[in-house]
Amino acid sequence: MSGTLRGALMGAVFTIALGTGTAWAGTIKVGVIAPFSGPFATVGKTFKEGIEVYQAQHGKTVGGDTVEFIFKDLDQANPAQSKALAQELVVKEKVGYLAGFFFTPDALAVAPLIDEANIPCVIFNAATSAITEKSPRYVRTSFTLWQNTVPLAQYVAKQGVTKVATAVSDYGPGIDGETAFKKTFEAEGGRVVDSIRMPLKSTDFAPFMQRIKDSGAQAIYAFLPAGPTTLAFAKAFSDTGLKAQGVKFYGPGDITQEPDLPALGDAAAGIISTFNYSQVHDSDLNRAFVAKHKELFGSSDTVTFTSVGAYDGAHVIYKMIEATGGKSDGLKAVEAVKGMTWESPRGPLKIDPDSRHVTQTIYLRVTEPKDGKLQNTEIAAFPNQPDYGFKVGK
């Protein structure tokens, strides 16, 4: 093959990649980058299942074009690999949309790429507020720590609690939660008596429990990454007698996510959390969602916040495809969903035009046993909560 011919071919390929080629009806590809193997494999699984439930309910075509999701495994936070995968999806697979992303750095890594290729990126989870500031082509359908924490802090203050200790894992989201809680709670007249930052990998929480005891706090606000750490923390909280003394345990709902509840066991009972979704949310849409999930995958026990993040993310992508008539134009697609409102299994949603983050109802839940297993029962709702962390900085 001569150089010029090859050059011409490459040119054609790249033009197609940049978006003119998808004008005719055919397949519209969506690249999903998420952990599908390794310790966070369940997250990727819930993403995939959420998407499949959406496609089962709403069909696989939009205006004559078939929507195909391509999954790429990124087993742990690894931004360099995230960017390489995204590059491959855009250049080789010629995806018109990027989606997924569990960890913040992985989502941040693709910002220059989506800008250069003019491709929208729908984030299903990665929860640091600052992400959507980095590119106008990000849209997020999950939540942020601020969004969950602000209504919680207001609620705690209204309960007459005046002294709270915060205990968070010493990493980005933990610090976000601590800052959000402190700022809101002190504005409401409460006092944060101790701010404890625990090493991310600690498993022995007894010393921290002692500090909480010494601080004389009436309640704690805790945030740790879901899984074994939360389990150990919740167990230490009840074993050291803090629970028996009547100290209240508050936190964002990540710590009592549905797949972890069986492992958490009784230690989790009584934790009061705020979150955007509970599997037992009382609505017809949610019942249909969970039922469809059970029909497709045999069990609905693992349906959780990442499932609806992906489900609603798929909805946003469908609407984007509709709005652009199958052509790939990132800015136009994002423009089309700004201000969009719809009803989701988790409740009413709206894409905030400024932050491109989803404004939603945050629910106050208590973790309690029912019919032999634990669940997050919603006891109050705070509608229309925006991302309070947008442009706040760190």
Query: Does 136 sit near another protein (CB under 8 A)?
Result: no
Spell out the residues 6+ positions from residue 208 whose beta carbon is closer than 8 angstroms to its own.
Answer: 167, 196, 198, 236
Query: Does 202 sit near another protein (CB under 8 A)?
Result: no
CB of 327 to another protein, least distance (A): 19
> What distance in Å separates the CA atoms of residue 185 and residue 189, rounded to the nearest whole number?
7
Evaluate whether 87 touches 103 at the Cβ level (below 8 Å).
no
Residues 73-112 vs another protein: string with x where CB under 8 A?
x-xxxxxxx-xxxxxx-xxx-----------xx--xx-xx
Site for another protein in 309-368 (CB under 8 A): none
CB of 175 to another protein, least distance (A): 7
Structure tokens at 252: 């964002």
Spell out the residues 6+ positions from residue 86 whose beta carbon is closer than 8 angstroms to its own.
Answer: 31, 33, 98, 109, 110, 113, 114
Query: Does 14 sit near another protein (CB under 8 A)?
Result: yes
> What distance in Å separates the CA atoms of residue 79 and residue 102, rounded to the nearest whole number?
11
> What distance in Å separates the CA atoms of residue 335 and residue 324, rounded to the nearest whole number?
10
Q: Tell me, rounded to whole angstroms, the distance of Cα 160 from its chain centroid.
A: 31
Query: Does 199 sit near another protein (CB under 8 A)?
Result: yes
Out of 170, 188, 301, 368, point to the residue binding another protein (CB under 8 A). 170
Number of separate helices (H) and strands (E) present in the chain: 13, 15
> At 369, which helix (H) or strand (E)?
strand 358-370
- Beta pairing partners, 220: 165, 249
3 state SS of 70: strand
Query: Does 173 sit near another protein (CB under 8 A)?
Result: yes
φ/ψ region of 375 (left if φ > 0, alpha if ψ in -120 to 50, else beta) reads: beta
Task: Please identify which residue in the block is written with the tokens 């999806």.
Answer: 89
CB of 129 to another protein, least distance (A): 10
Structure tokens at 389: 């962390």
Query: Does 38 sit near another protein (CB under 8 A)?
Result: yes
CB of 38 to another protein, least distance (A): 7
CB of 84 to another protein, least distance (A): 4
Query: Does 134 sit near another protein (CB under 8 A)?
Result: yes
Query: Does 116 sit near another protein (CB under 8 A)?
Result: yes
Number of Cα atoms under 13 Å in the Cβ half of residue 268: 30
Nearer to another protein, 134 or 294 (CB): 134
CB of 79 to another protein, least distance (A): 4
CB of 100 to another protein, least distance (A): 11
Nearer to another protein, 41 or 331 (CB): 41
> What distance in Å separates the CA atoms of residue 89 and residue 269, rounded to the nearest whole number?
43
Nearer to another protein, 113 or 231 (CB): 113
Query: Does 41 sit near another protein (CB under 8 A)?
Result: yes
Out of 15, 37, 203, 384, point to the residue binding another protein (CB under 8 A). 37
Task: Write out the residues near another protein by the rule CB under 8 A.
Answer: 10, 13-14, 36-38, 41, 44, 71-73, 75-81, 83-88, 90-92, 104-105, 108-109, 111-113, 116-117, 128, 130, 134, 170-173, 175, 199-200, 394
